[in-house]
Amino acid sequence: MRVLLTGAGGFLGSGLAERLARGMPSLSSLTLTDRQSSFSGKEIAGAEVKPGDLTDTVFLDELFEPGFDLVFHLASLPGGQAEGEPERGRRINLATPLELAWRTAARRPGARFVFASSIAVYGEIAAEIVSESTPAAPGLSYGAHKLMTEIFLSDLARRRDLSAVSLRFPALVARPPTESGHGSAFMSQMFHKIRAGEEFASPVPASARCWWMSRSAAIDALLHAAFLPADAPTMLLAPALSATMAEMAEAIETVTGPKSSIRWGEDARLTRIFGSMPQIDVSLAHSLGFAGDGDLETLARAALSGA
């Protein structure tokens, strides 16, 4: 089996790359791609690293020469950045996934295509509890492009050109402290600050409700999606947890010991975008065998371990 992973140098992608390389049966091949600058230079045994620009047709021609049976498409331009650079956003977050899906299907009809979508498809949510059937109304181009890609993939799956699964992920924790470009960076920051015993100045109030998922649970979800039956739903909410900042902080302190102090803020914009989430209904994912972090303490432990 031939496997392709895009965004392989990123936070989620690098973790998935290691897990894939570790668990690969010998008859498989694993190709990792990302921009040259995203690869740390760390070798992954058994994987072929092909750095390049996915918006470059010549590179794609070469990359797709043999075709793939399984593609994980994780590469994207973060929402804030895409909003500021709309042309790049359109190319990376819309044209690229459509093109990759099309090429995957053309080379190997019926191949599995796992797409890292985002809860950004929902935009601001009025519903009290969110599931796959909650209407999507993206508030940023990032979410609009993810939603368009989901629709495209569902249509290819209907035609049996591809066997596609889109997983809607929340912000993952805990991103490295150096990665402060995401609007949701404060969510990861809380883990690092509490562990270090430093004061954490939260931009949002203690009551702000966010959706949480550890990187390791996200990797589990992607791997599980890769081997769902072909007739499974083509779009799923990743099994995230819904909890307030205060609840998450308490769970982190259960793991690290309570040695930090938190000042709660009132940033209206961040609270609106990341801290006003409702409850989440991930029963569909659970019914299909997706596990998720289970509870906040397990999530905190996974997030702090860096796994």
Would you tell me which residues interact with its own copies (CB under 8 A)? 86, 90, 94, 98, 102, 133, 135, 138-139, 141, 144-145, 147-148, 151-152, 154-155, 158-159, 161
53, burial (CB in 10 Å: exposed 0-12, middle 13-18, buried 19+): middle
Contact at 8 Å (CB) between 234 and 153?
A: yes
**Is the Cβ of residue 155 or residue 297 nearer to its own copies in the bound state?**
155
Structure tokens at 179: 């990665």
36, burial (CB in 10 Å: exposed 0-12, middle 13-18, buried 19+): exposed
Q: How far is the CB of 199 from its own copies (least distance, A)?
A: 38
Strands 241-244 and 279-280: unpaired
Structure tokens at 105: 């299907």
**Is the Cβ of residue 30 or residue 136 nearer to its own copies in the bound state?**
136
Q: How far is the CB of 40 from its own copies (least distance, A)?
A: 34
Q: How far is the CB of 120 from its own copies (least distance, A)?
A: 12
Q: How far is the CB of 159 from its own copies (least distance, A)?
A: 7
**Is the Cβ of residue 153 or residue 222 nearer to its own copies in the bound state?**
153
3-state secondary structure (DSSP) of residue 47? strand
Q: b/e map of 178-201 (b: 16 or more CB within 10 Å)?
A: eeeebbbbbbbbbbbbbbeeeebe
Q: How far is the CB of 55 from its own copies (least distance, A)?
A: 15
Strands 2-6 and 209-212: unpaired
**Is the Cβ of residue 124 or residue 198 nearer to its own copies in the bound state?**
124
**Is the Cβ of residue 51 or residue 109 nearer to its own copies in the bound state?**
109
